[in-house]
Copies of this chain bind each other. A is one copy, B any other.
Amino acid sequence: MTTAARPTKLTEAEIEQRAGDLKAWSVEAGKLHRAYRFPNFDEAFGFMSAVALEAKALDHHPEWSNVYDRVVIDLTTHDAGGLTKLDFILAARCEQLAADFGARS
């Protein structure tokens, strides 16, 4: 029986390089941060449901909040004590799914 290797914390240089691919995200308090606005609640929660399935598949979960048409997401890897490639993978999937659900910003 093998244990899946968990990703390790990225260096500052690695974070800067990867963050360049996610222009709308910022690093705030050591977490990848993004606020989305959708046409209404249905799309906002539809987006969250789609991201929840990704989170389950990755075994990597967002910190997030929702108020009507707005969703705010923070990503970090608690096990690693910082950002790992999992955060960037989930952020990239969020970008794709947000577009599918008509994100306005």
Interface positions of A (Cβ within 8 A of B): 41-42, 45, 48-49, 52, 55-56, 61-68
Contact = CB atoms under 8 A, between A and B. Distances in A.
Nearest to A59: B41
Copies of this chain present in the complex amount to 2
A45 B52 contact: yes
A63 B41 CA distance: 11
Contacts of A42: 56
A55 B62 CA distance: 22
A65 B63 contact: yes
Contacts of A49: 45, 49
Contacts of A52: 41, 45
A64 B65 contact: yes
Given A49-B49, A56-B41, A56-B42, A66 B64 contact: yes
